Amino acid sequence: MTLTTKTIAELRDGFRDGEFTAREIAEGFNAAVVAGRALNAWTVETPELALAAADAADAARSANAILPLSGIPLGIKDLFATEGVDSTAGSNILKGFKPPYESTVSGKLRDAGAGMLGKLNMDEFAMGSSNETSAYGPVISPWQRNDGGNAALTPGGSSGGSAAAVAAGMAPGVTGTDTGGSIRQPAAFVGISGIKPTYGRCSRWGIVAFASSLDQAGPMARNVRDCAIMLEVMSGFDPKDSTSLDLPVPKWEAGISSNLKGKRVGIPTEYRIDGVPAEIDALWEQGVEWLRDAGAEPVKISLPHTKYALPTYYIIAPAEASSNLARYDGVRYGLREMGAKSLDDMYAATRAAGFGEEVKRRIMIGTYVLSAGYYDAYFTKAQKVRTLIKRDFALAFEQCDIILTPTAPSAAFGLNEKMSDPLAMYLNDVFAVPASLAGLPAMSVPGGLDSQGLPLGLHLIGRELDEQGVLNAALAIEERAGFTARAEKWW
């Protein structure tokens, strides 16, 4: 019995019906994690935690006290603080950091009965789109091109380990985080689903901060229903996060429906950009037809400030990062380098040794745009444009209920192809960033394969708090795309 190919819903229901034990599930995934080490998806393996949760789940079943995620082992992105387990945000500056507390989101999953298979590799401090900025080295995608060349491809980033773990059958579901596309772009690159909820749905408490006005946690899994199951557990009000939404969590799984009758799907003109492969435009048009087939009516919309979203993001995110990352000073946790002798030397030496190149670059840009004399020209200007981007969406949602776009402007690319050109790397998130700036729920769902045999994703953006609408439209695509392709096992 191959349990590692099952979805979360199948595992949950099969476990409840007594088809298999939670221990069998955990042992199956623990073995897959070991067998998949060549992909470098994990920073820490915690098979003993997965087994302990499984034994608790088996006992709960005997006692008729099953929890929502009893029997489900998950992977947790290394950005989440996990009690007693190394939590390093993919950075040397946090090597060896074992938090004495658990992040709210991973704690909710744990309290719902889920086990933890380990921590997942990621771009350092979630700054990257290819997982290549990780202090642990890049994750290798389980996917390869069909040209027989065996070139190592990126699983995307920053949640690259998360994406690879699900695509390779090492975990049925994982947590990711998304600041400007870090759940959606990797989900698209490896042919899985991933949703970033409305800003404030998931508590940020215990998640290493990158850009606090943008950071959101979300699930990544094999299909849309599994994302709904996980998101329901991960969401909810948390008094420890000042921007947490004090609202009830909808029953997204129960409410899921691919009948889109009466819904209008907005197709934004400005998302048709130069240099995007024709295959991606073709898939986008196919996606429109799928949604039409599900009962929706396509409408053309305009989001006029789209082209300014990326430059806006690359002022705001580094500015917030430069402030958030000031805490890594060699005093309270993580690395310390002594430097020449003064306290200031110690700070500067620690940060020089502990941060990688991309993180330093962003801290520097952020420090510059916040510094005296430049603050208004860069930071305030970007915050004003952010207002306009948010307004674009508000106006568009007067004409439509959901927006459909491609997730990324290309399929997965090869390792080392874009590392030397930061701007080319940043362009990966051109379709993902606007929804982040506006705080809107957005999801990637697999649409098909390109001519190289690599997955392509479709991207749905919903109104504030309308995760249900996003999930439903994604389900309508999932049912029609019939995406069953899996990476052929070479590892």
Partner 1 sequence: MSVNADQVRHVAKLARIAMSDAEVDALVPEFNNILGWVEQLAEVDTEGVEPLTAVIDLKLRLRDDVVNDGDCRDAVLKNAPDAQHGFFAVPKVIE
- The least CB distance from residue 331 to partner 1, in Å, is 5
Nearest to 175 by CA among 129, 135, 215: 215
Interaction residues for partner 1, span 152-191 (CB under 8 A): none
Q: Token pair for residue 98?
A: 């074992």
Residue type, 142: P
Tell me which of 106, 129, 141, 182 is the catalytic residue. 182
335 belongs to the binding site for partner 1 (CB under 8 A): yes
Contacts (CB under 8 A) with partner 1, residues 443-472: 464
Half-sphere exposure of 377 (CA within 13 A, CB side): 6
The CB-of-157 to partner 1 minimum distance in angstroms stands at 18
What's the Cα-to-Cα distance from 269 to each of 218, 273, 300, 302, 473, rounded to whole Å?
28, 9, 7, 6, 20
Candidates 25, 382, 433, 473; binder of partner 1 (CB under 8 A) is: 382
Closest CA to 130 of 108, 83, 96, 163: 163
CA distance 58 to 36: 26
Q: Tell me which residue of 258, 142, 225 sits closest to 490, measured CA to CA.
A: 142
Q: Is the peptide bond before 103 cis (omega within 30 degrees of 0)?
A: no
User: Do 414 and 373 touch, CB atoms closer than 8 A?
Assistant: no
Between the CA atoms of 407, 412, 415 and 417, what dihedral angle is there, to the nearest 10 degrees? -80
Candidate segments 29-37, 165-173, 370-378, 450-458, binder of partner 1 by CB under 8 A: 370-378
Cα angle vertex 306, ends 218, 456, to 5°?
50
Q: Based on the residue annotation, tell me whether 91 is a catalytic residue of this protein.
A: no
Q: Is 158 a catalytic residue?
A: yes
Contacts of partner 1 in 104-143 (CB under 8 A): none
For the beta sheet containing 42-45, the strands, ordered from the edge strand earlier in sequence to the opposite edge, are 42-45, 115-120, 73-77, 173-178, 216-221, 193-196, 442-449, 455-462, 402-406, 264-268, 297-301
| Contact call for residue 34 and partner 1 (CB under 8 A) | no
Taking CB under 8 A as the criterion, the residue among 374, 395, 416, 451 binding partner 1 is 374
Q: Which of 85, 346, 402, 403 binds partner 1 (CB under 8 A)?
A: 346
Question: Rounded to an integer, what distance in angstroms lies between the CA atom of residue 363 and that of residue 314?
Answer: 11
The rounded distance, in Å, linking the Cα atoms of 92 and 97 is: 10
User: Applying CB under 8 A, does 77 fall inside the site for partner 1?
Assistant: no
Which one among 256, 349, 419, 485 touches partner 1, defined by CB under 8 A? 349
**Where does this chain touch partner 1 (CB under 8 A) — which range of 66-74, 270-278, 286-294, 378-386?**
378-386
Binding mask 294-333 for partner 1 (x = CB under 8 A): -----------x--x--xx-xx------x---x--xxxxx
97 binds partner 1 (CB under 8 A): yes
Residues 257-276 that bind partner 1 (CB under 8 A): none
Question: Which tokens sit at 291?
Answer: 């949604």
224-234 helix and 467-481 helix, angle to the nearest 10 degrees: 160
User: Which of 34, 338 has the CB closer to partner 1?
Assistant: 338
Structure tokens, 115:
């086990």
Which of residues 286 and 383 has its CB atom nearest to partner 1 in the complex?
383
- 213 touching partner 1, by CB under 8 A: yes
| Residue 339 near partner 1 by CB under 8 A | yes
Among 262, 342, 482, 484, which residue sits at the site for partner 1 (rule: CB under 8 A)? 342
Q: Which is nearer to partner 1, 199 or 290 (CB)?
A: 199
Taking CB under 8 A as the rule, does residue 375 contact partner 1? Answer: no
Nearer to partner 1, 251 or 384 (CB): 384
Asked whether position 381 contacts partner 1 by CB under 8 A, the answer is yes
Q: Which is nearer to partner 1, 261 or 332 (CB)?
A: 332
Q: How far apart are CA 321 and CA 33, in angstroms?
A: 32
Residues 236-255 that bind partner 1 (CB under 8 A): 239, 242-243, 245-246
Least separation in angstroms between CB 478 and partner 1:
28
Would you count residue 419 as binding partner 1 (CB under 8 A)?
Answer: no
Within residues 388-417, the interface with partner 1 by CB under 8 A covers 388, 390
Q: Is 222 in the site for partner 1 (CB under 8 A)?
A: no
- Point out the catalytic residue in the list 77, 108, 119, 263: 77
Nearest to 73 by CA among 136, 35, 17, 120: 120
Set 106, 129, 130, 158: catalytic member: 158
Residues that bind partner 1 (rule: CB under 8 A) add up to a total of: 72
The answer to whether residue 182 is catalytic is yes
Q: Is-contact 194 234, C-beta < 8 A?
A: no
Contact 214, 180 (CB under 8 A): yes
Which span sits near partner 1 by CB under 8 A: 184-192, 286-294, 395-403, 431-439? 431-439
Query: Of 32-40, 103-111, 118-126, 348-356, which part binds partner 1 (CB under 8 A)?
Result: 348-356
Residues marked as catalytic: 77, 158, 182
